Chain A
């Protein structure tokens, strides 16, 4: 399996030596007199899972739609799978998978019928290395809809509908998959299954870019997290790197003789050693906690809004007065 995947990674895209699948430089988007994106830069390598975070209205959906070729950008250079999405042809489109925020289409179709039909459009783009489309029943099983395969789409629950959306997104065995808030409306179990599915796709060298508001999900799924705020990418790195970037401090909590204590420190290891040296057996309930992604995210967005962080100029340009 592993060799086959390595081969498919090398054989199915034009420049095998170049592993960069998404390349965005100075992407700008302007609606009338408002500039929504003010120079977005990032790249994604083959098989990477990127999670795009950001407040509502930050331009996450706009960014994704530019990459999908659904929206014309105002300025900047964008390349997805070696082509400019604004000029991507159908052969290029066949290598892309798209899951949007809200679909309510095809209500009269049955689940299996719809997946078989939409999948058939990809058959001319099948190669020896990437067999397209995905086998319908296998795909239905992979997204956990086997019990609903013969149901009409209009009768599915919200969570089942979302699974179907994901299934349609991947039916053509995409090399790059875009998902805009794929887990909104999913229960924790379905969410967990979805995470397994995305990791499986990434293991098969599919590049995944998704947006979410669930920070735990971002932390769990992402190889890299991008935070989009004030029209720019204000942070780019793994959850761990981001938390170090914002704050080197960790919080140490413990109890001594049953009384709780808490201390922030930049050197938790040394601090804990000293704690035990001084108090020994009387210490209990020890807990060392680095800044969570949530802390990091909130700090970054707040810094941006108050105009003291990396996106300071962006925030000012955005029309927000520093407080």
Chain B
């Protein structure tokens, strides 16, 4: 077995270890529960409101949309946040000091973020499906959509998250990025159908993966009649695959060189300098 392949396997094991750690750490578990509550509360409030002409409640519209948003959010922002944090605390430099440690680190991160994303999606779904009617009741055919939308969604968001995490100068910057992300969610048709927005905002929303992941999850989990609430009254499978595919290809093309450049610049001195600045901010 080549050392690189061997490091890939170590990375997979590393990812599993980190998943076990996050699901047994009180602080992290609290985070997953809090996320679930934040999604479920608005869902609960609108569970009986009917969405005109679609034959479903506003709550039923929101549930799959929010699951899709969770995927986009975790894939991109959690990856960026982890990478920025791990540059600052020396995890990345540690990986760099070990033979093929970067390969292991990266594979581990992909496993870890993917697992986190799946659990973050499953929790609100498991709760929400008992609160609203007519979600995930149409059997196998539609569920097959999940089999390609979810992995493609991870491919579309994870590498981009890695690019963001490599370009920002500190984890605090990722925190600041949350503000525009919140705005993006408003125009991504998660809490209400995109068709209710002015046309130019619809166009902006459709550039980013959040809208398409919401659409993909709705296509998989809502009854056929609910398509009436969508743009063009279509689930637009082709466009979903197309836009997510473009993001995936762009991310996969960009990430290796950006990551390599970031890794090359890491050294004990740059890490100490960042640490010093972080301490100044605290003091």
A contact residues vs B (CB 8 Å cutoff):
61-62, 64-65, 68, 70-71, 90-91, 93-94, 96, 98, 100-109, 113, 117-118, 120-125, 168, 172, 180
Contacts and interface: CB of A to CB of B under 8 A. Distances in A.
B94 A108 contact: no
Contact of A113 (B17, B101, B104): B17
Q: Give the interface residue-count category, chain B.
A: 20 to 34
B89 A121 contact: no
Nearest to A122: B99
Contacts of A107: 89
A102 B90 contact: yes
Interface in B1-50: 1, 3, 6-7, 10, 13-14, 17-18, 21-22, 25
B21 A121 contact: no
Contact of B6 (A70, A91, A117, A124): A124
A94 B99 contact: yes
Given A65-B268, A103-B90, A106-B91, A121 B10 contact: yes
A113 B20 CA distance: 12
B134 interface: no
B271 interface: yes
B144 interface: no
21 contacts: A61-B272, A64-B268, A65-B268, A70-B93, A70-B267, A71-B269, A90-B3, A100-B90, A102-B275, A104-B89, A105-B89, A105-B90, A105-B94, A106-B91, A108-B21, A117-B14, A120-B10, A121-B10, A122-B98, A125-B3, A172-B99
Contacts of A64: 268
A109 B21 contact: yes
B96 interface: yes
Q: Is the interface of B mostly helix, strand, loop or mixed?
A: helix
Nearest to B269: A61
Contacts, number: 87
Contact of B266 (A70, A98, A122): A70
A93 B275 contact: no
Contacts of A106: 91, 94
Which residue among A64, A93, A124, A172 has the maximum number of chain B CB atoms within 10 Å of its CB? Answer: A124
Q: Across chains A and B, which 7 residue pairs bring their CB atoms closest together, nearest first?
A: A105-B91, A100-B268, A94-B99, A90-B99, A70-B267, A105-B90, A108-B21
A172 B267 CA distance: 20
A105 B268 CA distance: 13
